Amino acid sequence: MKTVYVVTMWSGGRPAKKWKTETLPEPLPMGTGVTFISLATRLRVTVIGSVSVEEFESGKEEIESGTYEMPSEPGRLY
C-alpha cells in the first residue's frame, strides 16, 4: 500500500476541484496555496487560494483489482 494525498480547492465553502498526488504537496512561499505533481496527468499543478490536503493509504483499489501483492516473509508461504 502507498500514501496518496488528495488536494481540494475550495470555492464558497464547497469543494470545487480535487486532485490526487503521491508526494506531499509543497506550500507556496507566500503561504496561500500548494504545488504538486498530479497523479492523473503527471503535470505540475499550482493551486492558489483556499486549499486542503488529506492523506490516505491506497490499497483498496489494488486489492479489488488483484494487483496488490502481499509482503512476503522468509519461511512463510501464501
Residue 57's pLDDT is 84
Residue 76's pLDDT is 47
Instruction: Dump pLDDT digits (tens) for 7-64.
Output: 999 999 999 999 999 999 999 999 899 999 999 999 999 999 999 999 988 666 665 5
**Burial class of residue 36, CB neighbours in 10 A (0-12, 13-18, 19+):** buried
Residue 77's pLDDT is 45
Q: In the chain, where are the structural domains located?
A: 3-65
pLDDT-derived band at 2, boundaries 50, 70, 90: confident
HEC string for the chain: CCEEEEEEEEECCEEEEEEEECCCCEECCCCCEEEEECCCCCCEEEEECCEEEEEEECCHHHHHHCCCCCCCCCCCCC
Q: What pTM does this model have?
A: 0.72
